[in-house]
């Protein structure tokens, strides 16, 4: 059983300029494949202190993963210190040098001499090519200990870890194929989901199942290792079917898409357009939809009707309705959805009205939300919610509930 230590090298971490997200990423990945790790260390760009850190780490662990310090400047000294610590030399890796030279040619910039340093690797190491930057990663073994050196920028380190380091760690060579799949859930809490699949979680080995929660959603990440892609896919398929039987109704995506991307794709498929009337959400639904490039084919626009005057004058909600039922009401949500559909000439109108807090208004408790949905010629639907959390959480949850409901309705209506 391997014991790992993660070492991040970089004075910017000691100054608090950046947070060590690399350690969190690698920690999660290691736990996914069953490698336990007991320590994480951060050390500055200083050769004496890095050497001290290597001594401490190799006294208590077998697998030492270092991030950072592989760049071209004098401050970057991870390779140099590890090589010296192990009594090994640095040698030029021709393939990496070629790709660095090609990079400079491509961006039409002159390659300075110090960039060659990035193509140096520790002798006898296995080299991980960098497809998103210049400095390659590497693994060198010594006295039953393994040292893995990875670049610091997350956009280089993460794909290198997923595509090259994970297969290497799982197989001891790079002959194993790793496949992972993300099952994304909405409408079920993390603890209930865990309870429903507890036996699978407890007996997992291949694929491993890692639950992750963020932004009011839960995800299960299945990761299988096998000799080829087909076998790995088959292993994942079997576990996915078991999960599907129990909690399949809460899964909205299995290909990495988020809730908003799923909705946008469905609307594109069905050649439908959408427009929104946003009161408490204040533009958040529109913002999340337009985070996705190229949505102008399906998203017409929206009316952020924060004041009742806008609900009345632009969206045609009658003052009588606003006076008798109030802006936060079933009737107002219905009228807003119907009227924004008509006003924007869209296939779908969706509306949001409610109380996001932090202070409750006279008649409405914090978290009371009505979502209106009008699709084509169908009768408008209104969903009433009682949400909890901060203002930010209530607004985000409203937007996600509506998006999830739209996805369900569009999937159900095959004839749309």
Of residues 324-363, those binding a copy of itself (CB under 8 A): 343-345, 356-359
The answer to whether residues 175 and 232 touch, using CB atoms and an 8 Å cutoff, is: no
Query: Binding marks (x or -) toward a copy of itself, 357..376, rule CB under 8 A?
Result: xxx-----------------
Question: According to the binding rule CB under 8 A, does residue 234 interact with a copy of itself?
Answer: no
Contact 251, 323 (CB under 8 A): no
- If the CB atoms of residues 101 and 162 are measured against a copy of itself, the closer one turns out to be 162
Burial-class residue 22 by CB neighbours within 10 Å (0-12, 13-18, 19+): buried
Q: Which residue, 69 or 136, has its beta carbon nearer to a copy of itself?
A: 69
> Interface residues for a copy of itself in 294-313 (CB under 8 A)?
294-296, 299-307, 309-310, 313
Is 155 a residue that touches a copy of itself (CB under 8 A)?
no
Question: Applying CB under 8 A, does 221 fall inside the site for a copy of itself?
Answer: no
The nearer residue to a copy of itself, 14 or 111, going by C-beta atoms, is 14
Q: Which is nearer to a copy of itself, 26 or 148 (CB)?
A: 26
Within 29-58, the residues that bind a copy of itself by CB under 8 A are 29-31, 37-44, 46, 49, 52-53, 56
Rg (CA), the chain: 27
CA neighbours closer than 13 Å in the CB half-sphere of residue 210 = 16
Which range in 112-120, 178-186, 219-227, 273-281 contacts a copy of itself by CB under 8 A? 273-281
108/414 with CB nearer a copy of itself: 108
Name every residue whose Cβ is closer than 8 Å to that of residue 270 and which is 6 or more positions away in sequence.
410, 416
Residue 132 within binding range of a copy of itself, rule CB under 8 A: no
Number of residues that bind a copy of itself (CB under 8 A): 71
Other C-beta atoms closer than 10 Å to the C-beta of 226 total 19
Assess 18 for contact with a copy of itself (CB under 8 A): yes
Stretch that binds a copy of itself, among 113-121, 124-132, 276-284, 373-381 (CB under 8 A): 276-284
Give me 348's structure tokens: 């779908």
Binding status of residue 28 toward a copy of itself by CB under 8 A: yes
In angstroms, rounded to a whole number, what is the distance separating the alpha carbons of residues 364 and 355? Answer: 7
Among 200, 391, 405, 409, binds a copy of itself (CB under 8 A): 391
The distance from CA 397 to its chain's CA centroid, rounded to whole angstroms, is 17
* 216 touches 184 (CB < 8 A): no
Q: Are 133 and 99 spatial neighbours (Cβ–Cβ below 8 Å)?
A: no
Q: Which of 153, 159, 187, 282 binds a copy of itself (CB under 8 A)?
A: 282
Residues in the chain: 416
Q: Where are the beta strands (DSSP E) in 254-365?
A: 274-278, 299-304, 348-354
Please calculate the CA angle 195-199-202 and round it to the nearest 5 degrees.
105
Q: Is 187 in the site for a copy of itself (CB under 8 A)?
A: no
């Amino acid at each position: 059983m391997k014991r790992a230590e993660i070492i991040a090298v970089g004075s910017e971490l000691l100054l608090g300029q950046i947070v060590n997200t690399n350690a969190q990423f690698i920690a999660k990945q290691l736990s996914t494949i069953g490698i336990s790790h007991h320590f994480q260390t951060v050390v500055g760009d200083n050769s004496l202190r890095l050497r001290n850190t290597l001594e401490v780490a190799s006294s208590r662990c077998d697998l030492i993963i270092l991030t950072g310090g592989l760049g071209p400047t004098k401050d970057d000294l991870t390779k140099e210190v590890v090589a010296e610590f192990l009594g090994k030399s640095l040698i030029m890796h021709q393939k990496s040098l070629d790709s660095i030279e090609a990079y400079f040619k491509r961006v039409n910039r002159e390659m300075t001499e110090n960039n060659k340093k990035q193509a140096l690797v520790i002798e006898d190491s296995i080299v991980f090519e960098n497809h998103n930057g210049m400095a390659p990663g590497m693994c060198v073994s010594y006295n039953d200990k393994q040292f893995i050196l990875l670049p610091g920028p997350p956009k280089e380190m993460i794909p290198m870890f997923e595509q090259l380091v994970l297969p290497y760690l799982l197989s001891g060579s790079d002959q194993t194929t790793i496949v992972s799949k993300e099952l994304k859930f909405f409408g079920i809490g993390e603890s209930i989901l865990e309870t429903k699949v507890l036996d699978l979680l407890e007996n997992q080995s291949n694929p491993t199942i890692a639950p992750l929660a963020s932004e009011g959603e839960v995800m299960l990440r299945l990761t299988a290792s096998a000799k080829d892609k087909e076998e790995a896919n088959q292993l994942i398929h079997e576990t996915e079917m078991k999960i599907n039987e129990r909690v399949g109704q809460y899964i909205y995506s299995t290909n990495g898409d988020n809730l908003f991307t799923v909705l946008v794709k469905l609307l594109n498929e069905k050649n439908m357009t959408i427009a929104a009337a946003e009161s408490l959400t204040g533009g958040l639904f529109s913002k999340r939809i337009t985070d996705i490039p190229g949505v102008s084919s399906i998203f017409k626009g929206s009316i952020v009707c924060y004041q009742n005057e806008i609900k009345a004058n632009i969206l045609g909600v009658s003052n009588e309705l606003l006076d008798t039922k109030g802006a936060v009401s079933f009737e107002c949500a219905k009228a807003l959805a119907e009227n924004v559909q008509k006003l924007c000439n869209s296939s779908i109108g969706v509306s949001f009205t409610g109380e996001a807090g932090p202070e409750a208004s006279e008649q409405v408790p914090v978290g009371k939300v009505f979502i209106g949905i009008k699709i084509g010629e169908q009768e408008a639907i209104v969903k009433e919610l009682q949400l909890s959390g901060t203002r930010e959480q209530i607004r985000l949850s409203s937007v996600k509930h509506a998006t999830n409901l739209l996805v369900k309705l569009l999937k159900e209506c095959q004839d749309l």
